[in-house]
C-alpha cells in the first residue's frame, strides 16, 4: 500500500526545473533510497515529501488521502527528518532527543523511557547529560538520528545523514540505522549519492538526475538492468558498449559488438541498436575456454591493483574491463600481453535500447 505518493510534482526556481516527477510512491514499511548525483533534486524531493515545501504544481497523497495546504500539524507529526548536518539545538543531548516528544506534550517517565530507549539504540546513553555543542561529529549525528527516531514517525526522511562522517563510523551507523528503522517498522526515504549505502539499506532504489526520475526498482534490478545510459553511468556499470541485435528468440538476443558475437538475455528484437551493459565483476577470465558456453579470445592490456581486487583491461576486439580477485590474478599470472579466454553468461549482458524511446521508468 502506498503511504505517500507524489503525482505530477514540479518545482522550478529561476527558470530552472529542479524537480519534475510524474509519479513516485513510498510504500508502507519500505526503505526507498533516492540515489543521484549532487544537484539531482534529491533534497528538494525530500523537503516536499516531508511537507516542508509546497511544490509549484502537483499533489501529494497520504494513504491515498490528498494532502491539503497548509498541511495539518497532525500529518506533519507523522514524519521526521534528519539532515546531513546534525543541526543540534543548544542544551544537552537529552534535551535534543526529547525535543520532539515535548512538542507533542509528552512529559515525565513516559518521555524519559522513550528517550532512554532511543539513546541506548544509538549508543549515546552515556552522553545524555552532555552539552550538544561538545559532541564529536559521529556523536552529534547519532543524537540527530535518535532525536528523529524517538518520535517513531511513520515516515522517516533522511537527507544524506551519514555523508559527513568517516568511513568506519559511517558503516557502523548505517547498520544501526537499518536496525532502528526495521525494528520500529517505519517507512523511510533515504537520500544519498553513495552506492554502498543505497544497496545496504534499500528495498527499492529511485535514481534521480537533473530533477527527473530515471528508474525505480529493486536494487539488483536497477544495478544489473539499468533502463538507460545515465542510470548505468551513475551506477558505474563498467562496460557500456554499442551493440546491434542480430537475432532474437526465446528471451535470448544475439548481439554484435564491434564485429564479435555475444548472447544476451533480452527481449529486444532483431535490428535494434542497443547499449550492452556488462558489469566488470561478471566478466570471467581464464587461460583457456571452459567446456560450456561462448567465449571470446582477448589480450590483457593493463592490470591495475585496486586493493582487494584487480582491474583488468582487455582487448576483445572491443575494450572490456574485468574485475578479478587477487588470488585469480596470481593463478592466471595476469600481465599485459597475455592471451586469455573471456566468458560472459547471457544473464550478465544487459541490453539498454538506444534507438527510440528509452525503456520506461518503472
Determine which residue in the list 56, 103, 110, 258 makes contact with another protein, applying CB under 8 A: 103
Site string for another protein, 186-215 (x = CB under 8 A): ------------------------------
Site for another protein, residues 64 to 83, rule: CB under 8 A: 73, 76-77, 79-81, 83
105 is an interface residue for another protein by CB under 8 A: no
Determine which residue in the list 104, 126, 326, 362 makes contact with another protein, applying CB under 8 A: 104
Min. distance of Cβ 341 from another protein in angstroms? 55
CB closer to another protein, 2 vs 134 = 134
CB closer to another protein, 87 vs 302 = 87
Min. distance of Cβ 153 from another protein in angstroms? 9
85 is an interface residue for another protein by CB under 8 A: yes
CB closer to another protein, 148 vs 320 = 148
Determine which residue in the list 147, 170, 204, 279 makes contact with another protein, applying CB under 8 A: 147
100 is an interface residue for another protein by CB under 8 A: yes
Question: HEC profile for the chain?
Answer: CEEEEEEEEEEEECCEEEEEEEEEEEECCCEEEEECCCCCCHHHHHHHHCCCCCCCEEEEEECCEECCCCCCHHHHCCEEEECCCCCCCCCEHHHHHHHHHHHCCCCHHHHHHHHHHHHHHCCCHHHCCCEHHHCCHHHHHHHHHHHHHCCCCCEEEEECCCCCCCHHHHHHHHHHHHHHHHHCCCEEEEEECCHHHHHHHCCEEEEEECCEEEEEECHHHHHHCCCCHHHHHHCCCCEEEEEEEEEEECCEEEEEECCEEEEEECCCCCCCEEEEEECHHHCEEECCCCCCCCEEEEEEEEEEECCCEEEEEEECCCEEEEEEEHHHHHHHCCCCCCEEEEECCHHHEEEEECCCCCCCCC
Site string for another protein, 30-59 (x = CB under 8 A): -----------------x--x-x-------
126 is an interface residue for another protein by CB under 8 A: no
151 is an interface residue for another protein by CB under 8 A: yes
The pairing of beta strand 2-13 with beta strand 16-27: antiparallel
99 is an interface residue for another protein by CB under 8 A: yes
Spatial separation of the C-alpha atoms in residues 301 and 61, rounded to whole Å: 55
CB closer to another protein, 43 vs 215 = 43
- # of chain residues touching another protein (CB under 8 A): 23
CB closer to another protein, 48 vs 262 = 48
The answer to whether 49 and 84 have CB atoms below 8 angstroms apart is no
**Residue pointed to by grid coordinates 538506444:** 354
27 is an interface residue for another protein by CB under 8 A: no
Site string for another protein, 264-303 (x = CB under 8 A): ----------------------------------------
Cβ count near 215 (within 10 Å): 26
Min. distance of Cβ 76 from another protein in angstroms? 6
| CB hemisphere CA count around 312 (13 angstroms) | 33
Min. distance of Cβ 5 from another protein in angstroms? 19
Residues that bind another protein (CB under 8 A): 47, 50, 52, 73, 76-77, 79-81, 83, 85, 87, 89-90, 99-100, 103-104, 131, 147-148, 151, 157
Amino acid at each position: 500500500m502506498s503511504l505517500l505518493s507524489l503525482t505530477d510534482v514540479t518545482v522550478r526556481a529561476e527558470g530552472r526545473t529542479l524537480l519534475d516527477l510524474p509519479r513516485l510512491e513510498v510504500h508502507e514499511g519500505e526503505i526507498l533510497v533516492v540515489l543521484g548525483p549532487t544537484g539531482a533534486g534529491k533534497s528538494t524531493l525530500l523537503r516536499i515529501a516531508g511537507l516542508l515545501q509546497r511544490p509549484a504544481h502537483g499533489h501529494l497523497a497520504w494513504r491515498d488521502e490528498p494532502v491539503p495546504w497548509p498541511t495539518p500539524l497532525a500529518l506533519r507529526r507523522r514524519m521526521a527528518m534528519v539532515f546531513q548536518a546534525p543541526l543540534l539545538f543548544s542544551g544537552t543531548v537529552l534535551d535534543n532527543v526529547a525535543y520532539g516528544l515535548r512538542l507533542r506534550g509528552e512529559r515525565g517517565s513516559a518521555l524519559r523511557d522513550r528517550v532512554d530507549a532511543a539513546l541506548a539504540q544509538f549508543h549515546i546513553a552515556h552522553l545524555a547529560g552532555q552539552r550538544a555543542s561538545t559532541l564529536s561529529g559521529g556523536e552529534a549525528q547519532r543524537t540527530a538520528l535518535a532525536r528523529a527516531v524517538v518520535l517513531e514517525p511513520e515516515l522517516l526522511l533522511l537527507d544524506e545523514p551519514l555523508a559527513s562522517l568517516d568511513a568506519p563510523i559511517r558503516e557502523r551507523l548505517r547498520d544501526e540505522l537499518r536496525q532502528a528503522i526495521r525494528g520500529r517498522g517505519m517507512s523511510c526515504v533515504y537520500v544519498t549519492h553513495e552506492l554502498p549505502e543505497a544497496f545496504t539499506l534499500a528495498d527499492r532504489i529511485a535514481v534521480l538526475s537533473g530533477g527527473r526520475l530515471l528508474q525505480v526498482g529493486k536494487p539488483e534490478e536497477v544495478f544489473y538492468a539499468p533502463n538507460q545510459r545515465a542510470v548505468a553511468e551513475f551506477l558505474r556499470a563498467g562496460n557500456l558498449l554499442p551493440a546491434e541485435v542480430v537475432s532474437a528468440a526465446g528471451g535470448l538476443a544475439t548481439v554484435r559488438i564491434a564485429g564479435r558475437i555475444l548472447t544476451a538475455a533480452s527481449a529486444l528484437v532483431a535490428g535494434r541498436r542497443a547499449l550492452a551493459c556488462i558489469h566488470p565483476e561478471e566478466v570471467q577470465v581464464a587461460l583457456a575456454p571452459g567446456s560450456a558456453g561462448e567465449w571470446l579470445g582477448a589480450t590483457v592490456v593493463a592490470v591495475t591493483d585496486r586493493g582487494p581486487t584487480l582491474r583488468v583491461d582487455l582487448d576483445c576486439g572491443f575494450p572490456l574491463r574485468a574485475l578479478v580477485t587477487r588470488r585469480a590474478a596470481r593463478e592466471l599470472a595476469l600481465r599485459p600481453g597475455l592471451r586469455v579466454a573471456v566468458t560472459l553468461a547471457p544473464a550478465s549482458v544487459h541490453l539498454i535500447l538506444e534507438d527510440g524511446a528509452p525503456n520506461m521508468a518503472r
